[in-house]
Structure 1
Amino acid sequence: MKIALLGYGKMGKVIERIALERGHEIVLKKDEHNTFDGLEKADVAIDFSAPSVAVENISTAINHGIPVISGTTGWLENYHQIERLCNEKNAAFLYGSNFSLGVNLFFELNDYLAKMMAKFKDYKVSMEEIHHIHKLDKPSGTAISLANAVINRTDKNNWAIENPKEDDVFIDVKRIDDVPGTHSVFYNSDVDFIEIKHVAHNREGFALGAVIASEWIIGKKGIFSMKDVLDLHK
């Protein structure tokens, strides 16, 4: 499989190593210093770039008829634009706020717990996410996915990272050196405290998941998620 890396930062370099170990070829390493030359050779594009260039990267690949895996967060206000383009071009697109197998299992656990806790009003839900100081978006895409699952299952209406209202899910955002990603969901009452947590040890799990998703999407058309890749649909 020939892969175009749209974004060649720390994640891009880990993805490159894992892809090469799995027998794939890198035909483009796109960053701010080069162009899309070589994109047309790719079987799939993997976008781990920056919010400011993600839409251009994804759109360019889709317009070339190349399926796209995107793990860039912070651009989702334009998600429907990409969705429409993908459908118009009969292309394939998969966005994941987190490609780690463990995190995607954690998503399922969080959804199930929120469903159970919805009727127990004495418990107040909140969250915490911790990442390295170079992460550009706050909160993380993973935290937003977790919060939205809680919102969909409970009487909460939104999430907030400061000055939360009664119907908000508060996300405590922390930036600390060299933390790949830690996400916690809390349910607190006067009598006890429930916590679920996922701790990433490194970027390997994210990168491996993105490569596995790239292998999976070849030959497919439509809009997908890691639920499809991991067959987690209920």
Structure 2
Amino acid sequence: MYRTINILIVDDHPLFRQGVRYSLQDEHDIKVVGDASTAEEALQFISLSPPDVAIVDINLPGMNGLELTRQIHRTYPSLGVIVLSMHESDEQAFNALRAGAAAYYSKDISSVQLAQVIRRVARGEYVINEVMFDEPKVAQRILTQFRDLHQSVTTEADVDFTLFSPLSDREIEVLEKIAAGHSNKEIADSLSISTQTVKNHISSILRKLSLNDRTQAVIYALRRGWINAPLDTPPPPLRLPDVEDAEA
């Protein structure tokens, strides 16, 4: 028996809210339980009946979507927030993640993709528009900003730093190498282990964190302060998974 994922839609355009409702009506494990046109309405709804996931427009009137996301994350940390924007922006993606969003996508996301993202967020995953991460420079900028944030801010209310890590010391080392943009072979050479061992560590990391790919794992770890990628030299461009990496 599947668990129903309760959804709140927050957008100031009635037609968009209706469109999201319509697009999700055939998803038997997803139920839209409410909608709101402002952040204040959303917070009131959540205080009475917290949903599992909130879909939030970044450009709300009054309190914007980022501030709403920040307040939700502080008060209801288990509530996953999907931030939607009219335009794809790595700056907005970083700000959304920093505010506590679990996902960031543009509003041209398909209904099938939105349903998939909702399910992943409900499982506790972090999801960024894959189109954005197809651009290595964009991905590297977001990851670098997270490294800068961890270097300069050790205690900040809107950043989720968790001291406990389920990862081993070696797995942390591997994640730091991934954050620096290294391939499996480069990681293996630098740690004096085999490429297969690197792949095994990556598989273990993804399994422990219930995530699907390396980039998600790096962001997840950086948000919690588990890894601290070196900043003394400019990191190499973030690599997209090549043949050997895709097998991990």
TM-score between both structures, scaled by the size of structure 2: 0.40
TM-score between both structures, scaled by the size of structure 1: 0.42
Structure with a larger share of its residues in helix = 2
Higher relative contact order (CA 8 A, sep 6+): 1
